[in-house]
Amino acid sequence: MDGNGRWAQSRGLPRVMGHHAGVEALKTTLRLCSDWGITALTAYAFSTENWSRPGDEVNFLLTLFERVLQKELQSLETEQVRIRFLGDLDGLPEKLQGLIQDAEERTSANTGIHLNVCTNYGGRRELVRATQRLAARAASGDLEPQNIDENTVAAELFTAGEQDPDLLIRTSGEHRISNFLLWQLAYAEIHVTDVFWPDFDAEALKKALLDYQSRNRRFGGLDPISP
């Protein structure tokens, strides 16, 4: 959800107002995805690197997560959204951890779109954690190293049970992966837009989906019509 700070600064507002507006863009996008038959939406809300931002901004963000969870849980339940938070949740304030646990439990049986919120998430850290867990299982005799395959690794990631994303949307013109879902994005199509996240709307999502539809996904193979 890149570009919140620049969106605010371009309007002469404090950066945090951009995060506030970013929540509205996320709600709009979630509803559109759900209406248009997309089965999962994963948003990068707070990276392991974001702790290095000024304390005030970090505190604002953590409080914003709490407020949004408290305010929106009822509508997530009504709209059948299943919410999960992916990342090192132990590193978050206890109150937020409690709200996350409550929201995950209360929506776990919902049958609608999956909303995954990457919070205190880093792709490399996720892979290190998975490696440690596999190594521990191997050391205890529970797993033979030669039996480790892609499915075994995927099952130890925060995204266990989720399909890999088909499309990565990168807002505010950045052309980097920025430590996001490093394993899961292996074959994702990438759409880059200059739109700042708070301005991401139905038109911007439609453009991203049309861009995706125009791609020829070969997953490393050949085009069926190639000689």
126 part of the interface to ligand FPP, by CB under 6 A: no
- Does position 122 interact with ligand FPP (CB under 6 A)? The reply is no
Q: Which of 2, 4, 116, 120 is catalytic?
A: 2
CB of 161 to ligand FPP, least distance (A): 20
The residue within the footprint of ligand FPP, chosen from 13, 64, 154, 185 (CB under 6 A), is: 64
Reply yes or no on whether 90 is catalytic.
no
Residue 6 found at the interface with ligand FPP (CB under 6 A)? yes
Among 4, 120, 184, 193, contact with ligand FPP (rule: CB under 6 A)? 4
Judged by beta carbon, residue 189 or residue 198, the one nearer ligand FPP is 198
If binding is defined by CB under 6 A, does position 99 make contact with ligand FPP? no
Tell me how far apart the alpha carbons of residues 197 and 195 are, in angstroms, rounded to a whole number: 6
Q: Is 33 in the site for ligand FPP (CB under 6 A)?
A: no
Q: By CB under 6 A, how many residues form the interface with ligand FPP?
A: 19
**Which tokens go with 59?**
């505190």
- Shortest gap between Cβ of 68 and ligand FPP (angstroms)? 4
Of the residues 28, 34, 50, 63, which one makes contact with ligand FPP according to CB under 6 A: 50
Least distance between ligand FPP and beta carbon 126 (Å): 18
SS (HEC) of the chain: CCCHHHHHHCCCCCHHHHHHHHHHHHHHHHHHHHHCCCCEEEEEEEEHHHHHCCHHHHHHHHHHHHHHHHHHHHHHHHCCCEEEEECCHHHCCHHHHHHHHHHHHHHCCCCCCEEEEEEEECHHHHHHHHHHHHHHHHHCCCCCHHHCCHHHHHCCCCCCCCCCCCEEEECCCCCCCCCCCCCCCCCCEEEECCCCHHHCCHHHHHHHHHHHHCCCCCCCCCCCCCC
Is 120 among the residues known to form the active site?
no
Beta strands 167-170 and 189-192 are parallel
Q: Closest CB to ligand FPP among 81 and 157? A: 81
Which residues make up the interface to ligand FPP (CB under 6 A)?
A: 1-6, 19, 22-23, 26, 45, 50, 61, 64-65, 68-69, 117, 172
- Known catalytic residues are 2, 50
